[in-house]
Structures are given as structure tokens and as C-alpha cells.
Amino acid sequence: MTQMGGEGVNWIGQSAFTGEKHIFQNLGDGTYYHSGLLAIRQSVAAKINITYKILYNDAIAMTGGQPVEGTLTAGQISRQIHAEGVRPIHIVTDEPEKYGNHADFAPGVTIHHRRELDDIQRKLRDSPGVSAVIYDQTCASEKRRRRKKNQFPDPPKRAFINDLVCEACGDCSTASNCVSIIPQETELGRKRAIDQSGCNKDYSCVDGFCPSFVTVHGGSVKKGSPVNPDQLMDQIPLPALPPMDDGYDIMITGIGGTGIVTIGQIMVMAAHLEGKGASVLDFTGFAQKGGSVISYLRLAKTARDLKAVRIGTGAADFLLGCDMVVAGSREALRTLQKGKSSVILNSQKNQTAQFVLNRDADIHDGLISHNISHMIGEDQLDRVDAARMATALMGDSIATNMFLFGYGWQKGRIPLSLAAILRAIQLNGVAIKSNIQSFNWGRIAAADMALVEQALPHPVKGDATLTILDDIVAYRAEYLTDYQDEALARRYRDRVEKIRLLEKKLDIQNDDLSRAVARNYFRLLAVKDEYEVARLYTNGEFERKIRRQFDGDFKIRFHMAPPLLSRKDRKGHLRKREFGGWMFRALKILARMRGLRGTIFDIFGRTAERRMERKLICDYEYLLNEFEKTLTREKIFTAIALASIPSEIRGFGHVKEESFKISTKKSIALLQDYHSRDKHMVTAQ
Ligand code: SF4
């Protein structure tokens, strides 16, 4: 920890007392300009081994995207630090070509694509003295903002994930560090999708090693419902507004960059227009990493009646929970009180930045809901699927929070007049029409959900998955018939049935083991080999999904690494390549050839990956046989854990191989535990 502008200087003292030889130190361009250069100078003078990573992102990302003071160029920074004695200096960027032959860099500076960053850092950690990487890439949030104002190039290209193919391995999140890759819960497990509204068109996610990505060239993201909500408003009654004799306190919680601060400002302006007193205090996190935002909004009859700007413990009258995690935070819960507060909560499970690092991160929505209802009583908590509905209706997830605002107002939770709110939205001056429409859709949803459902361009599906074992098995058996044939489906059903009978025989009161086998044995049988990937692109479902999201005249390009057509990189991993529309026709032919799978004519079946997958099936069937012979009630939990291991073997190629290695260690430990219970039994007897 150090003060802003002192980045890296603590290492001067520390480095003499540790075996660590070198550190990397991040430094923003704004900080560099006002004081960070002095820290670099001190590091050079002290002759320590350190690499400064100067993040040249063209905006003060931390405080809302203001321009960097002094507007230094990357070239000027390189010359300044070169003059201070920093060597070597590398420029890393997503657009190396933009410098052309006119770059004004210091002598010896080299320019690299950002995919080389890891290699560069590995070399620099062994480099003596002070070195630097100037990472030149415009702040992601800032790019989005500027694009909305037509102030930044907006390439007509979008990345899209075919969730049918996705294995939820998380490699795309690792490759991109992007919070616009979001989880999508399906019957076949968690998949990933791209939040097109939040996407900054960086495309690094496409480098995730899998064939699930396509890029969509041309066309546009669908605009939402053709129904204009303004025409439905005469059917919506005006609500009774809450009294505000002793003032009225509203907590607004959400995620940075989604308009939470704007909602607070609109409410304050509406109060001002009505001659009321109002204050708002915003606590904002990092927008580009999905940081939390909490706005404390206090309303009173006059400005003189307002005292502190923060809302006291148990003092909130209403909480507008635009994001579940922030609404369930300690700070938000602190302000709630039974008998006083009520909450309207967006039920969408927005993941935190943790999801980038942990492919299985979960926000535990059930626990959050429980905590909120514990504070205020279940009858005062209203959950609404605002994100899905607003996105479907308006074609952009940014509509969510205005939708929820309208919903809350129509439910009579906000003591401000409709006229004042609409005027405040106009005075806000940004996206006036769509903000009013989103607000109106929220009002309609609160008054008459049937009207919203009729207007949805496609049904809004929740995260619910099958819960009854028979349904789980039937769904997968049908899938396996399409995947290969009825014989494979029968093999699957028979195995699950045997485990179900075993559970009954042992008088186990639930079917958890059967469910684990139903889901995991299926995963192994329905392996996503070349034929299956081809089928999942050409069975009509993928086309339906992409048509649901994009409009107009667009072309699709595929990003794959077919073993027979791809080269390997330095690490020996296959490299993905981009393929044009002809690939779709090739995939159609390949899908029809799936009858060759497992025969001597199966040209893909001899790779190490396919052999590993076949062995996994054999091992799993062996395990099920073992259960039939040796399972006891005491061993049931270990058996469930063992049966669930295949769900951890995910991805394609080297990613799958890596997860296989990790899961093998886990299975060995579990198997030892399983068999050790036999020994305990024998010893006890
Ligand atoms: S398979 Fe892995 S890399 Fe590909 S989209 Fe799914 S999570 Fe991302």
C-alpha cells in the first residue's frame, strides 16, 4: 500500500529484505502525470528492479472518464521515462498498426500486440533496473460512452457465443478479463453469453479456446418490442403516492456504468421541480469492473428539513435494488427496518467481477433474498425480472434500471409526481425517449404484467432447470438420440435406472446420486467432438438464437481450431483461425457424417483428446459398477462427489486437458476416501 504518486517506492525499502528479486507496479496515466513520474525517478535513483506498467487508457477511469490532465501521448511518456533512465520500454496495445511509421517514441522502444504481454512480462521480471510497459488501450467504459455519442469508431462486428457448444470452461473470461461475459443457466448446465449492451467490442474473448464463438459482421442488435409503451399508458391508473410528512429516504443500489447515479439525479431534479428538498450521496465503484454503486436519496418538504445526507440505520423507507448483490450488502441491509422499509429487487443474478476469475462463482441469490426478507418481512419484498424484461422490450440492458424505477413508482413507493419525473428525464438530456419508454414499461409491468407479456418479442425465460429425475433423464435421452442413436440413449437410461434401483435398495431417502449420474454420465456420452459441434451449429437452433439477437443483413464468421487445419503456437496449443460462411456448409456435411463416430472411418477419433474422452466413459461405467457392488449408506456423499467429477472436466483441447488433470487428482482423493470407509467398517466389525 502506498499513497497515490508513490507507486513502487515502498519496494525500495522492502527489496533489501526479501528473496523476491523484482516486482511489477501499475501506474495510471493520470497519476503518472501529476506525481507518478517522481516515483519512477526515485526507483531509478535507488537502482531497484521494478517494471512500471503505465496504463495509458486515455481517461481517468476511476472517477468517471474525465480527460487526462496534460494529455501526454504514449510517445511523450516513453521519452520522459527514457530520459529518466528507464530501460527497456515496451509499448503494448490492441492496435499496434495505428502507430505506422510516424511514432515519436524514445530510442529502443518496441511495439507489441497485447497478446504478447505475458511473454514480455516474463522477460522483464528477469531484467535488472527499472523497466516499463506502456499499455496503450482506451478505457473500456469510456469507449462505450463515446460510441453512444458517436465520438468513437463503432466497428460493425460483434462477438456471439453459441451456448449450445459452450462448455463453461471460462477460458474466454481468462483471455479477456471482461465482465460483459455473463453466465447463462441452461438445462445442460451453466453456459456463457455476451451482454451485447455492455460489450466494448474488444473481441479478446474470441481468443478463448473453443469453437463456440462466431463474429457477426453487419446487421445490428435487435431493437426490442415493436409495441410502443406510450400507447398503452391510458390503460395504466395513477398510483397513490406515499406520504412524506417527516421526509422520505430512498436507497438506490446497483452496478457502476448502468445509470444508477442518473436515477438519483432524476429523482433529485423532480423533487426540486416540485419545490421539495432533496439530497443525494453517491458511493461509486469502478464502472469497468462492475463495481457497486449506492445512492442515498433523501427527500423532505423543504431543503431546510434535510439534515445529514447519509441514510441512518433502519431509516430507509424504500430500497430500489437494481442489483441483487449490492442490495444485499451490509451497507444496504443496515438501512432497512421491518414495519418501515420495503424493497423492489431486480431478480437477475448479475455476477460480480469474481466470475472472471472463478468460472463457477455464484452470488447465492437465495441467501441474499433471504437476508433482505429477514430485515423487512417477505410481504415487503417484491422481486421482478426487470433485466430480462427490459432488455427484451427495449433491446438494451441499460433500460433495466429505468424500468425498475417506473415499476417502483407505479407501486407507490416514490413520493414524486409523474409530471416532475418526466420533466426531470427530459432535463437530463440523454436518451430521453428511450428512458421515458423504459420508465413506462416498468409502470405497465407493475400495473398489468399481462400487457408486458403480450408485448415481449420472445418469451422471457428464467434460470429454472428441470428438477424431477424422470424429466432430467428423458430430456437427455432424447438429446443422445439426436446426438447419435437410440442405442446410446438406451445405454444411458439403463445405467441411470440401475443407480436409481440401488438407491432404493439401500433405502436412501433421496435420489441425489441418480441425479448426479443422470447429469454427469450424459456429459461424458455427449462429448462435443467435431461431429457434435457441427450438429449444434446446423440443427436450426443456433440460427434461431442468432436471429433472435440480431437484425438486418449480417454475415457470420467462425473462430475454430480444427486439428487437421490449424497450426500450433509456441506452447504447442492449436491456434484458432477465422473461417468465412463456407464453414457453415462444411459443418452441415460433417454433422451428417456423425454415423462414422467411433468407426474405423472416424478420422477425428484417433486424437489424444478423443481417446481421453473414450477412456473417461469406460472409467465412469467402471465406477458405476463399483457402486453397485460396494455402495453403502455411509459412502453416499463420497459417491455423489465422485459421480459429479465429469462436470468439472470442461472445455476443448488443452483447456480440457488441464481440467482433466485437476479433476483426476480430485477423483483419486475421493476414491481413497470411498474405499477407506470399507476399511473402517472392517476394522469396526
Ligand atoms: S467454452 Fe469456454 S471459452 Fe468457450 S465460450 Fe464457453 S466458457 Fe468461453
Q: What pLDDT, on a 0 to 100 scale, did the predictor assign at position 307?
A: 84
Closest CA relative to residue 667, chosen from 645, 648, 639: 645
Whole-angstrom Cα distance, residue 82 to residue 101?
20
In this prediction, residue 586 has a pLDDT band, given cuts at 50, 70 and 90, of very high
In this prediction, residue 680 has a pLDDT band, given cuts at 50, 70 and 90, of low
From ligand 1's centre to the CA of 519, what distance in Å?
19
In this prediction, residue 59 has a pLDDT band, given cuts at 50, 70 and 90, of low
Closest CA relative to residue 546, chosen from 573, 581, 519: 581
User: Position of cell 535513483?
Assistant: 45
In this prediction, residue 634 has a pLDDT band, given cuts at 50, 70 and 90, of very high
From ligand 1's centre to the CA of 180, what distance in Å?
13
Half-sphere exposure for 327 (CA within 13 Å, toward CB): 36
What's the whole-number mean pLDDT along residues 641-651? 97
Q: At 535, list the grid cell.
A: 450438429
684, pLDDT greater than 90: no
From ligand 1's centre to the CA of 545, what distance in Å?
17
Atom of ligand 1 nearest to the CA of 191: 6
SS3 584: helix
In this prediction, residue 681 has a pLDDT band, given cuts at 50, 70 and 90, of low
Q: What is the mean pLDDT of the chain?
A: 91
Residue having the nearest C-alpha atom to atom 6 of ligand 1: 166
Least confident of 317-321, 386-390, 402-406: 386-390
Q: What pLDDT, on a 0 to 100 scale, did the predictor assign at position 57?
A: 81
From ligand 1's centre to the CA of 569, what distance in Å?
19
Whole-angstrom Cα distance, residue 575 to residue 573?
6
From ligand 1's centre to the CA of 158, what distance in Å?
16
ipTM value of the model?
Answer: 0.94
In this prediction, residue 462 has a pLDDT band, given cuts at 50, 70 and 90, of low
Residue having the nearest C-alpha atom to atom 8 of ligand 1: 172
What's the whole-number mean pLDDT along residues 148-153? 79
Q: Residue 275: what residue type?
A: G
What's the whole-number mean pLDDT along residues 27-31? 89
Q: What pLDDT, on a 0 to 100 scale, did the predictor assign at position 265?
A: 96
pLDDT higher for 568 or 540?
Answer: 540
Bond prior to 415 in cis (omega within 30° of 0): no
Atom of ligand 1 nearest to the CA of 210: 4
From ligand 1's centre to the CA of 263, what distance in Å?
35
Closest CA relative to residue 281, chosen from 263, 301, 303, 297: 297
Q: What pLDDT, on a 0 to 100 scale, did the predictor assign at position 236?
A: 97
344-355: pLDDT as tens digits: 999 987 766 777
Atom of ligand 1 nearest to the CA of 211: 4
Pocket test for ligand 1, best of 162, 172, 656 (most atoms within 8 A of CB): 172
In this prediction, residue 423 has a pLDDT band, given cuts at 50, 70 and 90, of very high
* H, E, C per residue of 615-665: HHHHHHHHHHHHHHHHCCHHHHHHHHHHHCHHHHCCCCHHHHHHHHHHHHH
Pocket test for ligand 1, best of 160, 161, 647 (most atoms within 8 A of CB): 161
Q: What pLDDT, on a 0 to 100 scale, did the predictor assign at position 66?
A: 61
Count of CB atoms situated within 10 Å of the CB of 498: 16
In this prediction, residue 301 has a pLDDT band, given cuts at 50, 70 and 90, of very high
Pairing of strands 23-28, 50-56: parallel
Q: At 628, list the grid cell.
A: 453397485
Atom of ligand 1 nearest to the CA of 170: 7
From ligand 1's centre to the CA of 507, what distance in Å?
40
How far are the Cα atoms of 178, 213, 362, 400 from residue 355, in angstroms, in the given order?
10, 19, 8, 21
User: 653, 568 in Cβ contact below 8 A?
Assistant: no
In this prediction, residue 65 has a pLDDT band, given cuts at 50, 70 and 90, of low
What's the whole-number mean pLDDT along residues 41-59? 92
How large a percentage of the chain has pLDDT more than 70? 95
Residue having the nearest C-alpha atom to atom 5 of ligand 1: 166
Whole-angstrom Cα distance, residue 210 to residue 204?
13
In this prediction, residue 145 has a pLDDT band, given cuts at 50, 70 and 90, of confident
User: 449, 383 in Cβ contact below 8 A?
Assistant: no
Residue having the nearest C-alpha atom to atom 2 of ligand 1: 169
196-224: pLDDT as tens digits: 988 889 899 999 999 999 999 999 998 88
Atom of ligand 1 nearest to the CA of 173: 8
Pocket test for ligand 1, best of 160, 162, 163, 166 (most atoms within 8 A of CB): 166
How far are the Cα atoms of 77, 466, 493, 629 from residue 680, in angstroms, in the given order?
68, 38, 34, 17
> Could you tell me which residues come within 8 angstroms of residue 644 by beta carbon, excluding any fewer than 6 positions away?
516, 519, 520
User: 164, 533 in Cβ contact below 8 A?
Assistant: no
- Domains in the chain: ranges and CATH: 10-138 (3.40.50.970), 150-222+458-465+530-596 (no CATH), 230-455 (3.40.920.10), 466-528+605-685 (no CATH)
How far are the Cα atoms of 168, 332, 415 from residue 412, in angstroms, in the given order?
41, 21, 7
User: 111, 96 in Cβ contact below 8 A?
Assistant: yes
From ligand 1's centre to the CA of 237, what distance in Å?
46
Q: What pLDDT, on a 0 to 100 scale, did the predictor assign at position 285?
A: 67
Atom of ligand 1 nearest to the CA of 169: 2
User: 573, 629 in Cβ contact below 8 A?
Assistant: no
Q: At 426, list the grid cell.
A: 427530459
Report residues whose beta carbon is within 6 angstroms of any ligand 1 atom.
161, 166-172, 192, 208, 210, 212, 651
From ligand 1's centre to the CA of 168, what distance in Å?
5
Q: At 218, list the grid cell.
A: 453487419
Burial-class residue 580 by CB neighbours within 10 Å (0-12, 13-18, 19+): exposed
67-95: pLDDT as tens digits: 666 678 889 999 999 999 999 999 999 88
From ligand 1's centre to the CA of 208, what distance in Å?
6
- Residue 189: strand pairing partners: 186
Closest CA relative to residue 291, chosen from 320, 260, 331: 260
pLDDT higher for 516 or 260?
Answer: 516
548-580: pLDDT as tens digits: 899 999 999 999 998 878 888 888 899 999 999
440, pLDDT greater than 70: yes
Pocket test for ligand 1, best of 162, 167, 206, 659 (most atoms within 8 A of CB): 167
